[in-house]
């Protein structure tokens, strides 16, 4: 590949108090190239992007755009230089129209020329093959189309560089395909694309080049075709990956006379899951499999009484109990790590320490606070146990990387010593290293006799960890797969056929 270089970043360094986020990092982007920027959480990917787009000011190094040395002070300035960015969360206004979203805040005039704007939007949408009409309200589009509109917004001006920071994490497979088609279209036009994602398969499907960062340092730039997945992972983690294959899941213990740890019959909730039966044995790891929106999260939320339970009977260790609120579930030894870490998991500005002790503290009660010393001991214990990377226990949790935040939320539940722990997408948006750690932790907990329900969008991960898969479709359980020899194919088939192709 000898196409011309449009962006060259040389010797970029950036440090925050106590952390060297980037050290002497080089990065090169060529015309018409899809360049994956890879690294674990905290490796410095986002920092590099933020330096490029002017969110952060660099400490050292230079940025050369089209042969000119540039200094970028704000994302607006970056945009005017032809650098467009699309972030993971869609930063558009759902109640405005598609065209308004594309042009808001960038018109030179104080007055809007609606006709012209809509015509321009229509032309752009059409040329990119985005199935949306300019006058349509954005909220009426699917998430994927909304994501594409934000791309259209980013590249509307004469864009040379497009940065996609985890654009696919909320998309399903079909939507990802559409997004990739759009990316290829842009590539053909000569746009250089920087692509950040945690999905390795997607990297191999679409990217030409991979740059790997680790702990703020550049590990290297590679041709995607010449770098195997295992090599990539070991470069990202800095160690060989033999321990991934070492993982051994538990043989399901289904002696019919044993009393299940948790058993529900005809359980349903206000979130709209059909009445279902569910049981889990001591030390069992099972999982709800199914597509996004199939009702897997709603089911576990019903178990934890996170949504209003509308019907059903629950037995814990054979004894009938009534679980009306999350607190009831917690008092009965159930823990629940929610899918949406940011909005339902972490308590942002609160310290790592307070985040770790939160659930235990609530169970102890309002009038029995842990002493400061006790709280610090607990926090330090779990920071060490789970290898949480944090400058101190007093650091606000929202300044940690995603993987470490998730570990803190996990620590919160482990500290309550639950009998039954529900993990809803514990590995989403998390680097490979932490993913493997969490999977191993799940299996270790099961060995210690904890029952776990594990949900993941990545089916291979579930197969690796769960001894029983409950398959859901359209808010209903359609079948079950168990045994040591379940394959991805089996699970896919069952999801696709709605349980008719029973194994």
Partner 1 sequence: MSKLKKHINRSSHLFLPLSVLVLLIIVNLIKGADYFRITMVNGAFYGNIPNILFGASELVILSIGMTLVTAASRGQDISIGENGAITSAIFVWYVLNAGEVTLLTILVGFFISCVAGILIGAFNGTLVSVFNVQPMVATLILFLGGRSIAFMIDGKVSPILANEISNKIGTVIPGIPIHTPIILTAVFIAIVAVVLKKTNLRLYVESVGINPSAVRLNGIDPKKIIFLTFLIMGVCSAVAGFIAVNKAGRHDSVNLLKFIMMDAILAVALGGNSLGGGKFSITGSIIGAYTIEMLNRTLLRLEVNPEAIKAFKAVFIIVLMVIASPVVRVFVRKVLDKAKTIGKASSLSTPDSRQMD
| Residues of this chain that bind partner 1 (CB under 8 A) | 17-18, 304, 306, 325-327, 330, 336, 338, 343-350, 354, 358-359, 361-363, 365-369, 391, 394, 412
Closest approach of Cβ 368 to partner 1, in Å? Answer: 8
If residue 381 lies in a helix (H) or strand (E), which one and from where to where? helix 372-385
- Distance between CA atoms of 157 and 271, rounded to whole angstroms? 43
Map 485-496 to HEC letters. Answer: CCCHHHHHHHHH
In the complex with partner 1, which residue's Cβ is closer, 285 or 358?
358
In the complex with partner 1, which residue's Cβ is closer, 102 or 356?
356
Closest approach of Cβ 415 to partner 1, in Å? Answer: 12
In the complex with partner 1, which residue's Cβ is closer, 316 or 477?
316
Closest approach of Cβ 83 to partner 1, in Å? Answer: 23
In the complex with partner 1, which residue's Cβ is closer, 358 or 481?
358
73: tokens are: 């002070």
- For 243, counting Cβ atoms within 10 Å of its Cβ (0-12 exposed, 13-18 middle, 19+ buried), the class is exposed
Buried residues in 350-382 as b, exposed as e (16+ CB within 10 A): ebbbbbbbbbbbeeeeeeeeeeeeebbebbeeb
In the complex with partner 1, which residue's Cβ is closer, 101 or 332?
332
179: tokens are: 């997004």
Length of the chain: 503
In the complex with partner 1, which residue's Cβ is closer, 218 or 330?
330
Closest approach of Cβ 139 to partner 1, in Å? Answer: 21
Closest approach of Cβ 411 to partner 1, in Å? Answer: 13
In the complex with partner 1, which residue's Cβ is closer, 103 or 454?
454
Closest approach of Cβ 61 to partner 1, in Å? Answer: 17
- Distance between CA atoms of 37 and 31, rounded to whole angstroms? 16
Closest approach of Cβ 267 to partner 1, in Å? Answer: 18
In the complex with partner 1, which residue's Cβ is closer, 357 or 469?
357
Closest approach of Cβ 360 to partner 1, in Å? Answer: 10
Identify the CA nearest to 59 among candidates 17, 6, 7, 87: 17
320: tokens are: 């009938």
Closest approach of Cβ 407 to partner 1, in Å? Answer: 16
- Distance between CA atoms of 324 and 399, rounded to whole angstroms? 34
- Distance between CA atoms of 263 and 286, rounded to whole angstroms? 13
Alpha helices in 140-265 (DSSP H): 143-155, 173-188, 200-206, 229-237, 242-245
Closest approach of Cβ 364 to partner 1, in Å? Answer: 8
In the complex with partner 1, which residue's Cβ is closer, 340 or 474?
340
In the complex with partner 1, which residue's Cβ is closer, 4 or 398?
398
Within 10 angstroms of residue 30's Cβ, the number of other Cβ atoms is: 18
- Distance between CA atoms of 418 and 315, rounded to whole angstroms? 16
Map 382-403 to HEC letters. Answer: HHHHCCCCCCCCCCEHHHCCHH
- Distance between CA atoms of 156 and 124, rounded to whole angstroms? 7
């Amino acid at each position: 590949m000898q196409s011309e270089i449009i962006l060259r970043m040389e010797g970029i360094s950036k440090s925050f108090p106590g952390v060297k986020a980037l050290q002497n990092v080089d990065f090169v982007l060529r015309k018409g190239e899809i360049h994956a920027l890879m690294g674990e959480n905290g490796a410095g990917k986002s920092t590099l992007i933020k330096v490029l787009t002017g969110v952060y000011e660099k400490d050292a190094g230079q940025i050369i755009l089209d042969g000119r040395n540039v200094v970028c002070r704000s994302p607006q300035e970056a945009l005017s230089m032809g650098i467009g960015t699309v972030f993971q969360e869609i930063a558009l206004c759902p109640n405005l129209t598609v065209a308004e979203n594309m042009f808001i805040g960038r018109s030179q005039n104080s007055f809007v020329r609606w006709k012209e704007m809509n015509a321009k939007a229509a032309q752009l949408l059409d040329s990119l093959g985005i199935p949306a009409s300019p006058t349509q309200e954005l909220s009426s589009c699917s998430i994927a189309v909304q994501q594409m509109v934000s791309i259209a917004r980013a590249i509307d001006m004469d864009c040379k560089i497009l940065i996609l920071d985890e654009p696919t994490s909320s998309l399903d497979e079909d939507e990802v395909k559409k997004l990739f088609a759009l990316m290829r279209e842009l590539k053909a036009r000569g746009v250089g694309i920087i692509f950040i994602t945690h999905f390795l398969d997607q990297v191999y499907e679409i990217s030409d080049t991979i740059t790997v960062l680790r702990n703020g340092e550049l590990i290297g730039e590679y041709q995607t075709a010449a770098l195997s997945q295992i090599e990539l992972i070991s470069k990202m983690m800095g160690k060989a990956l033999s321990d991934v294959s070492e993982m051994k899941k538990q043989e399901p213990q289904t002696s019919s006379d044993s009393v299940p740890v948790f058993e529900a019959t005809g359980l349903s909730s206000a979130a709209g899951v059909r009445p279902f039966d569910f049981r889990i044995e001591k030390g069992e790891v099972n999982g709800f499999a199914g597509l996004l929106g199939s009702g897997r999260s709603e089911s576990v939320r019903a178990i934890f009484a996170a949504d209003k339970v509308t019907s059903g009977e629950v037995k814990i260790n054979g004894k009938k109990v009534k679980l009306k609120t999350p607190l009831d579930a917690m008092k009965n030894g159930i823990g629940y790590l929610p899918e949406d870490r940011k909005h339902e998991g972490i308590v942002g500005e609160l310290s790592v320490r307070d985040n770790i002790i939160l659930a235990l503290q609530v169970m102890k009660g309002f009038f029995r606070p842990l002493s400061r010393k006790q709280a610090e001991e607990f926090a330090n214990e779990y920071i060490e146990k789970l290898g949480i990377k944090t400058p101190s226990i007093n650091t606000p949790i929202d300044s940690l990387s995603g993987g470490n935040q998730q570990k803190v939320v996990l620590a919160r539940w482990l500290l309550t010593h639950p009998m039954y722990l529900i993990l809803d997408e514990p590995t989403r948006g998390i680097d490979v290293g932490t993913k493997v750690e969490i999977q191993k932790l799940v299996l270790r907990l099961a060995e210690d006799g904890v029952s776990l329900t594990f949900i993941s969008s990545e089916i291979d991960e579930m197969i690796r960890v769960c001894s029983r898969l409950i398959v859901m479709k359209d808010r209903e359980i359609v079948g079950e797969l168990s045994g040591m020899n379940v394959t991805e194919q089996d699970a896919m088939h069952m999801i696709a056929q709605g349980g008719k192709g029973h194994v």
